[in-house]
């Protein structure tokens, strides 16, 4: 178990949270502020604004920053991400950033190329290499499918150890504010693997409504994404993830959460009960009438 005493983040300047309005970034920022850490949320809508595609916005965001949580939208697998990460890390190091925590993805060669950029920098780095987010089904890309009662994706029987983004945030905050996490790669997963069919069953039980998983051909999924009007990079990413990352390479459980925090990761059943209790998956009056 790592040390739990904060000796860095709230004493040595500002902690920058890139993607501070996203799934993990929002939680990281909230948890840092709860610890009394001076925090700056970076996004295109923030003040100062931060845009990965506009390097001229980076200097203002980095003013007075000594630690940074780095997420790249929409994903480090996107072509061009390595160039942006390299340029940002170089600028951040020159501006005095001493500690960096990178959110990365499992089984993505492009993401691990970005990891190496951080690892070669003269900083205290930590890599948080995450499996698929549980929250994709409650506040993300697939919530609409859950509400429609059918998770229609080109995923087969390959299981995935889905991870709670609250666990990711806890690991990131520990790495940003505590000693003992420098030069660690925390591969974070949930405590068990689930196929998409099993995941749909878990949601059905928690939400008390029928949610099925329906496997569709990759070509049909790609066509549906294109017809939905999704941005080109999002369409590319979703197709990439189902064609590569879910090919079995990540079908194993890792101990990153326990190594970083000294506790077990959150189980999908616990997450599903929590989401259902908030009413996120509740049947609406219109659905009942139909």
Q: Please report the DSSP string for 58-78 in residue order.
A: HHHHHTTEEEEEE--SS-TTS
The predicted-structure confidence for 100-116, as pLDDT tens digits, reads as follows 999 999 999 999 999 99
Unique residue bearing structure tokens 């429609």: 148
User: What is the DSSP-derived secondary structure letter of residue 234?
Assistant: H
User: What is the DSSP-derived secondary structure letter of residue 265?
Assistant: P
pLDDT for the residue numbered 289? 47
Question: pLDDT confidence of 20, banded at 50, 70, 90?
Answer: very high
Please, are residues 225 and 238 in contact by the beta-carbon 8 Å criterion? Answer: yes
Task: Supply 96's token pair.
Answer: 């005095």
Question: 245 in a domain, yes or no?
Answer: no
Question: 157 in a domain, yes or no?
Answer: no
pLDDT for the residue numbered 264? 98
Task: Supply 272's token pair.
Answer: 């599903």
Q: State yes or no: pLDDT of 4 exceeds 50.
A: no
| C-alpha span between 102 and 115 (Å, rounded) | 7
- Phi and psi at 133, nearest 5°, equal -75, 135
Question: 37 in a domain, yes or no?
Answer: yes
Number of folded domains that form the chain: 1
Domain harbouring 101, CATH code: 3.40.50.720
On average, the pLDDT of the chain sits at 92
pLDDT for the residue numbered 3? 42
Output the CA angle 135-139-141, nearest 5 degrees: 90
The predicted-structure confidence for 204-219, as pLDDT tens digits, reads as follows 999 999 999 999 998 8
Question: 20 in a domain, yes or no?
Answer: yes
Q: State yes or no: pLDDT of 5 exceeds 50.
A: no
Question: 96 in a domain, yes or no?
Answer: yes
Question: 211 in a domain, yes or no?
Answer: no
Q: How far is CA 107 from CA 6, 24, 30, in A?
A: 32, 19, 29
Q: Is the pTM of this model over 0.75?
A: yes
Residue 259 lies in domain: 14-134+162-190+251-265
The predicted-structure confidence for 52-99, as pLDDT tens digits, reads as follows 999 999 999 999 999 999 999 889 999 899 999 999 999 999 999 999
Q: State yes or no: pLDDT of 9 exceeds 60.
A: no
pLDDT for the residue numbered 11? 53
pLDDT for the residue numbered 230? 80
Q: Rounded mean pLDDT of 116-120?
A: 98
Q: State yes or no: pLDDT of 237 exceeds 90.
A: no
pLDDT for the residue numbered 141? 83
Q: State yes or no: pLDDT of 40 exceeds 60.
A: yes
Question: 149 in a domain, yes or no?
Answer: no
User: What is the DSSP-derived secondary structure letter of residue 131?
Assistant: -
Question: pLDDT confidence of 260, banded at 50, 70, 90?
Answer: very high
Please, are residues 127 and 100 in contact by the beta-carbon 8 Å criterion? Answer: no
pLDDT for the residue numbered 1? 47
At 83, is the secondary structure helix, strand, or coil?
Answer: helix
Q: 2-6, 200-204, 225-229: which has the minimum mean pLDDT?
A: 2-6
pLDDT for the residue numbered 285? 53
Question: 202 in a domain, yes or no?
Answer: no
The predicted-structure confidence for 148-190, as pLDDT tens digits, reads as follows 999 999 998 999 999 999 999 999 999 999 999 999 999 999 9
Question: pLDDT confidence of 286, banded at 50, 70, 90?
Answer: low
């Amino acid at each position: 178990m790592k040390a739990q005493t904060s000796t860095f983040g709230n004493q040595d300047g500002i902690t920058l949270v890139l993607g501070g309005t996203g799934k993990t970034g929002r939680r990281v920022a909230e948890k840092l502020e709860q610890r009394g850490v001076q925090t700056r949320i970076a996004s295109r809508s923030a003040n100062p604004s931060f845009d990965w595609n506009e390097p001229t916005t980076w200097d203002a965001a980095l003013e007075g920053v000594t630690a940074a949580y780095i997420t790249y939208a929409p994903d480090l697998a996107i072509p061009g991400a390595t160039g942006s990460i390299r340029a940002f890390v170089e600028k951040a190091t020159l501006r005095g950033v001493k500690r960096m925590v990178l959110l990365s993805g499992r089984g993505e060669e492009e993401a691990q190329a970005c990891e190496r950029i951080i690892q070669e920098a003269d900083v205290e780095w930590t890599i948080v290499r995450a499996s698929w987010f549980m929250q994709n089904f409650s506040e993300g890309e697939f919530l609409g499918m859950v509400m429609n009662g059918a998770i229609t994706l080109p995923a087969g029987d390959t299981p995935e150890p889905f991870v709670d983004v609250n666990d990711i945030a806890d690991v990131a905050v520990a790495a940003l504010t505590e000693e003992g996490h420098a030069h660690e790669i925390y591969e974070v997963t949930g405590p068990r693997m689930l196929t998409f069919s099993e995941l749909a069953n878990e949601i059905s039980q928690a939400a008390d409504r029928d949610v099925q998983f329906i496997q569709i051909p990759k070509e049909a999924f790609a066509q549906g994404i294109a017809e939905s009007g999704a941005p080109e990079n999002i369409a590319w990413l979703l197709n990439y993830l189902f064609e590569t990352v879910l090919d079995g390479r990540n079908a194993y459980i890792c101990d990153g959460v326990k190594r970083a925090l000294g506790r077990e990761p959150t189980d999908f059943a616990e997450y599903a009960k929590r989401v259902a209790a908030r009413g996120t998956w509740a049947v609406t009056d219109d659905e009942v009438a139909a």
